[in-house]
Structure formats: C-alpha cells, structure tokens
C-alpha cells in the first residue's frame, strides 16, 4: 500500500484517479480537506476496493503513528501543501505550519516507522516529496532553464516554505538514510484545479462576462505541464528512481501569462462563443502586479527523460483544450467552488481591492 497525503487536492486527486486506473496496489489518502482539498474530486473511486480515505493533518503525529501501524505503507507520497503565492503573501503562517512543520512531522513519523522494518522492507521503502520549480527563484529572459543542480533562491513565502521542506527531505536521506525522492515540477494545469490559479480563474471569469485580470504587464513566463503528465512522471520516479535523487519535471511549454489568457480566449471563442458575440480577449484587464512576482520559470527535464524515459504526452495546445472541455462539462463543480467563502474572500483580497495598472 502507498500513503498519499493531500490526495484530495488538484494534483493529488488526479494522481489518485490515475493510480487506481493503472496500478493494482491499494492506496490510502490522508487529507485534512482545507479549502482546496475536495473529497468530491475522488467521488468516482470512493467505492473502489483499493481506495481508503482518512481525514486528518500531517502535523498530527499520533494519527500518523496509528496509520503507519495499521496500514504499513511501502511508500509515502507527500502532495500535502499550501500552494498559492498570493495566499502565502497574505497569510505566511499557514505555509510554514503546513509546508515546513507538516513535512518535518511526516518525515520524522516515516523515519520512526522505517526503522522498525526489516532489512528488505527498509530497502524497498520510499518517501517522495512533490515540490515546485519556484524554489529556484526567478530567471532572466535568456537564462538557461533550472536543472537539478540549480541553487535554491526562493523569493516569496510559498517558495521559501517549499524550499525548506525540500532541504529537510534531503537531510533525512543524508543523515538517516531514509530513501527519498524530490520532484520539482513546473506550473500544472488540468481538471479539478481550484479556480484561484490562472487558467481556471480566467475561464471562470470569461464565462461570467467578468474582466480577465492579469498582474502587471502579463509578460511573466512559466513552463506549463499537464497534470496527468506530471502524475506519470511521479509514478516513474517512484518505480524506477534512485533514492536520494531529485528530478525536475517540466512540460517544455514556456508561455507568458498574457499568451495563456489569450489562448484560453481563442479556444472559448471557437467552442463557446460569448453570448454578445464579442471576443473574450476584449475582457482582458491589467491590474497592479503582486509583490515579489518572479519574472520567469523554466525547467530542464533532461534528467528524467534520459534516466527514466519520461516525456510529456500533451503539448500546451492539446492539454489546454482538454482542460477547458473538462471545465465546460463540469460547471456544477465550478459553481460549488466559487460559492465557497474562502474563494470569495481570496477574490476580494487579491483582485477586487487591487488597483488597475
């Protein structure tokens, strides 16, 4: 059995759905169901014989000890994290608690469990930390992409908390020998993503004929990775990676935020035209940039391509069409999310009170 923390969030739930469709191994999901953790994301597998769900916090040591003793997992995959930069700027405390302290608690509980295993079980045990390219900081336009040896240089509370967690994971390998992996991924997109992120946020506003809000000039560059490609990479690392290694996972799709929003608009113009027959791009509105906004992220994924033979199956155009189609076919899911008080509060704080550019 594998233990997946944060399995009701965006990437975690996509990972669980793929896992149960592909693998023949039980999976235990631990999630405390914060605003972004939605148990309905896993509704289609809740009766699956290989699926078990427990509501709980990775900071709860007693709970972790109980789960390790009862289920005896052979692997832990840590997706549990606060993950939005804007929220980290407004409320960094939660990011330190969940991303740093939570990872430490999970590591220490895993180590205590691992020490009690026999030699064969210890050798096959795995701890996989799902991290982000944001730990590396910001690139200039012509800088080479981040690789696994790039120095960490986080620039906001979110990326700093993830960097601290990565350092702890590495320390547990070098100090205690705990068999770990770290994956640093680029910007994920796809089904089930909470609409505080750029693509679903843009789509939601377009469907409501609201301004499509873009920070600053919109020329910030990100590498975009379709979520199921990311899930496939994680399975490859878990199955075939060498313990102690880091793998960067990217989609080979660098786009400016403005390009992303314009592409969403173009696809909507084609498949769901505006009721007033105006181009959706006419709703684009530039607002004041957020503090410490990194200019560019880019991932060099050569290591995972060469060592584990992983490649993304989706390019940005194909992945984005699949994403938009999913949201259009699941409008009730969006309605439930947008009515949530945490989403409304975030919207007011980060956009409605922010001046125009």
For the segment 2-16, what is each residue's pLDDT rounded down to a tens digit? Answer: 999 999 999 999 999
91 within a domain of the structure (yes/no): yes
Q: Is residue 93 part of a domain?
A: yes
Length of the chain: 357
So which residues are the catalytic ones? 133-134, 158
Residue 130 lies in a domain: yes
> What is the predicted pLDDT for the residue at 308?
98
What is the distance between the alpha carbons of residues 31 and 16, in angstroms, rounded to a whole number? 12
Q: Examine residue 302 and state whether it is found in any structural domain, yes or no.
A: yes
Q: Check pLDDT > 80 for residue 103.
A: yes
Q: Residue 115 above 60 pLDDT?
A: yes
The confidence band for 335, taking pLDDT boundaries of 50, 70 and 90, is: confident
Beta strands in the chain (DSSP E): 2-5, 27-31, 51-55, 75-78, 126-132, 180-185, 187-189, 212-215, 221-226, 245-249, 254-256, 284-287
- The residue segments making up the domain with residue 12 are 2-194+225-253+292-316
pLDDT for 262: 98
Query: d(Cα 76, Cα 107) in Å, to the nearest integer?
Result: 9
Radius of gyration of the chain (CA): 20
Which tokens belong to 78? 């840590």
Whether the CA torsion 238, 241, 244, 247 is positive or negative: it is negative
Q: Is residue 121 part of a domain?
A: yes
pLDDT tens across 126-135, in order?
999 999 999 9
Name the pLDDT band for 338 (thresholds 50, 70, 90): low
Residue 341: pLDDT above 80?
no
pLDDT at 134: 96
- Arithmetic mean of pLDDT, 198-217: 94
- Supply the pLDDT for residue 354: 47
Query: Is the pLDDT confidence value at 233 over 70?
Result: yes
- Tell me the mean pLDDT in the region 69-95: 90
pLDDT of residue 91: 86
pTM: 0.93
Higher-confidence position of 335 and 80: 80
Going by pLDDT thresholds of 50, 70 and 90, the confidence category of residue 82 is: confident
Percent of the chain with pLDDT over 90: 84
Instruction: Residue 171: give its domain's CATH number.
Output: 3.40.50.720
- Between 53 and 341, the higher pLDDT residue: 53
Structure tokens at 179: 């068999």
Q: Label residue 48 exposed, middle or buried (CB < 10 Å: 0-12, 13-18, 19+).
A: middle
d(CA 18, CA 21): 5
The residues that bridge with 356 in the sheet, in sequence order, are: 287
Residue 265's pLDDT is what?
98
If one counts the domains in the chain, the total is 1
The answer to whether the beta carbons of residues 210 and 263 sit under 8 Å apart is no
117 by Cβ neighbours in 10 Å (0-12 / 13-18 / 19+) ranks as middle
The beta strand positions in 195-345, using DSSP E, are 212-215, 221-226, 245-249, 254-256, 284-287
Whether 347 maps to a domain, the answer reads no
Q: Is the pLDDT of residue 53 over 80?
A: yes
Give the residue, 345 or 156, on which the prediction is more confident: 156
More confident residue, 91 or 315: 315
For 291-303, how does the pLDDT look when each residue is reduced to its tens digit (9 = 90+)?
888 899 999 999 9
78 assigned to some structural domain: yes
Closest-CA residue to 65 (of 112, 31, 117): 112
Res. 85 pLDDT band, cuts 50 70 90: confident
- Helix, strand or coil for residue 181? strand
Residue 216: inside a domain: no
From 193-207, 230-244, 334-348, the region with the lowest mean pLDDT: 334-348
What does the block give as tokens for 174? 């070098």
Kindly tell me if the per-residue pLDDT of 349 is higher than 70. no
């Amino acid at each position: 059995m594998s233990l997946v923390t944060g399995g009701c969030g965006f990437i975690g739930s996509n990972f669980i759905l793929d896992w149960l469709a592909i693998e023949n191994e039980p999976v235990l999901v631990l999630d405390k169901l914060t605003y972004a953790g939605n148990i309905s994301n896993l509704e289609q597998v809740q009766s699956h014989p290989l699926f078990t769900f427990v509501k709980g916090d990775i900071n709860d040591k007693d709970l972790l000890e109980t789960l390790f003793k009862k289920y005896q997992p052979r692997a832990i995959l840590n997706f549990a994290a606060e993950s939005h930069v804007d929220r980290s700027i407004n409320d960094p405390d939660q990011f330190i608690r969940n991303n740093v302290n939570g990872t430490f608690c999970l590591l220490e509980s895993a180590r205590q469990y691992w020490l009690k295993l026999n030699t064969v079980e210890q050798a096959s045990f795995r701890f996989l930390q799902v991290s982000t390219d944001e730990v590396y900081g910001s690139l200039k336009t012509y800088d080479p992409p981040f690789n696994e040896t790039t120095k960490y240089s986080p620039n906001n509370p979110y990326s700093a908390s993830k960097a601290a967690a990565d350092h702890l994971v590495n320390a547990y390998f070098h100090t205690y020998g705990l068999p770990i992996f770290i994956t640093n991924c680029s910007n994920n997109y796809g089904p089930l993503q909470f609409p505080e992120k750029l693509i679903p946020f843009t789509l939601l506003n377009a469907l409501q004929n609201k301004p499509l809000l873009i920070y600053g000039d919109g020329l910030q560059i990100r590498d975009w990775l379709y979520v199921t490609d990311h899930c496939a990479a994680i399975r490859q690392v878990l199955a075939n990676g060498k313990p102690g290694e880091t793998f960067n996972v990217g989609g080979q799709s660098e786009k400016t935020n403005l390009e992303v929003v314009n592409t969403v608009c173009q696809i909507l113009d084609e498949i769901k035209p505006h009721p007033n027959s105006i181009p959706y791009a006419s709703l684009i509105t530039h607002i004041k940039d957020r503090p410490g906004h990194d200019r560019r992220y880019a991932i060099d994924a050569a290591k995972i391509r060469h060592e584990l033979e992983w490649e993304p199956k989706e390019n940005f155009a194909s992945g984005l069409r699949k994403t938009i189609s999913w949201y259009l076919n699941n409008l009730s899911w969006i309605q439930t999310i947008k009515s949530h008080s945490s989403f409304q509060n975030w919207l007011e704080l980060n956009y409605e009170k922010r001046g125009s550019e």
